[in-house]
């Protein structure tokens, strides 16, 4: 059996679901445009330049989840999936996931975006396993805080090891391990698998992939 891991934002999706969720809430009037739009752009630029403080970002991104009942959040998310996410789902990305599933590979999406946003997206791709930022719950409600290690940069390696360990496996359990990503932030995990693949990569990842002879592909 082989292992196939997929980054989500700007890899399987032709956009960033974290960024899009904040923008969606702004458009819905849930978040105040002037304050939140500037912060959303700020964090997005930090991510793209490899300088994101994940804890600071999660404080920003998760706070709105604690202010509204789950029923309302789910209602918003359904509209978010219809208007924002489905247009980002690329046919070639669906085909790539189906290729690995058809080979009987163990497939997982590994993303720093939180589980509330990403669980329905993973289901849309038909991927059963999702390693994403877990959300703290209290009395069934989101607290606005993360739980456990966010799968960001080295955190993706940590969370993957924890997940595989819970299955009695390690990366060495697989004849080949694939990881598809667009971002330099994912270098720690790309360096651990046997088949690193740069997907429509940022410039830093493109240079690294070219220098190391990694496969470079496009899902656009």
User: pLDDT tens for residues 74-96?
Assistant: 999 999 999 999 999 999 999 99
Structural domains counted in the chain:
2
What is the value of pTM for the model shown?
Answer: 0.95
pLDDT surpassing 90 at residue 167: yes
| Whether residues 131 and 189 fall in one domain | yes
The token duo for 167 is: 């299955």
User: Distance between CA atoms of 105 and 99, rounded to whole angstroms?
Assistant: 9
Domain edge (last residue) among 67, 87, 107: 87
The token duo for 56 is: 């600071």
Q: Domain of 141: which CATH number?
A: 3.40.50.1000
- Asked if residue 168 lies in contact with residue 93, where contact means CB atoms within 8 angstroms, the answer is no
Burial code of 144-162, b = ≥16 C-beta within 10 A, e = fewer? bebeebbbbbebbbbbbee
| Whether residues 47 and 141 fall in one domain | no
Collapse the DSSP code of 175 into the 3-class scheme (helix H, G, I; strand E, B; otherwise coil) and give the result.
coil
Q: Domain of 72: which CATH number?
A: 1.20.1440.100
9 a catalytic residue:
yes
Domain edge (last residue) among 54, 87, 120: 87
pLDDT surpassing 90 at residue 188: yes
Q: Write out the residue range of the structural domain in which residue 185 sits.
A: 3-14+89-217
| Whether residues 120 and 137 fall in one domain | yes
| Whether residues 93 and 83 fall in one domain | no
User: Distance between CA atoms of 202 and 184, rounded to whole angstroms?
Assistant: 7
User: pLDDT tens for residues 131-163?
Assistant: 999 999 998 899 999 999 999 999 999 999 999
**CB half-sphere exposure, 36, CA atoms < 13 A:** 21
74 a catalytic residue:
no
The active-site residue, picked from 9, 18, 105, 182, is: 9
User: Distance between CA atoms of 54 and 148, rounded to whole angstroms?
Assistant: 13
């Amino acid at each position: 059996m082989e292992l196939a891991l997929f980054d989500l934002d700007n890899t399987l999706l032709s956009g960033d679901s974290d960024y899009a969720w904040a923008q969606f809430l702004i458009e819905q009037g849930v978040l105040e445009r002037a304050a939140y739009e500037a912060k959303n752009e700020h964090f997005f630029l930090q991510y793209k330049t490899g300088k994101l403080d994940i804890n600071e970002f999660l404080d920003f991104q998760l706070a709105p989840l604690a202010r509204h009942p789950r029923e309302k959040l789910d209602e918003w998310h359904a509209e978010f999936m219809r208007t924002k996410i489905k247009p980002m789902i690329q046919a070639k990305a669906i085909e790539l996931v189906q290729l690995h599933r058809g080979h009987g590979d163990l497939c997982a999406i590994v993303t720093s975006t939180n589980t509330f946003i990403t669980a329905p997206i993973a289901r849309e791709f038909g991927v059963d396993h999702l390693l994403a930022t877990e959300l703290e719950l209290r009395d069934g409600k989101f607290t606005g805080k993360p739980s456990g290690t966010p799968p960001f940069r080295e955190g993706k390696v940590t969370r993957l090891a924890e997940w595989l360990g819970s299955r009695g496996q390690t990366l060495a359990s697989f004849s080949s391990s694939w990881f598809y990503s667009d971002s330099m932030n994912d270098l720690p995990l790309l360096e651990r698998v046997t088949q690193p693949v740069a997907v429509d990569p940022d410039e830093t990842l493109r240079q690294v992939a070219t220098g190391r002879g990694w496969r470079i592909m496009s899902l656009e």
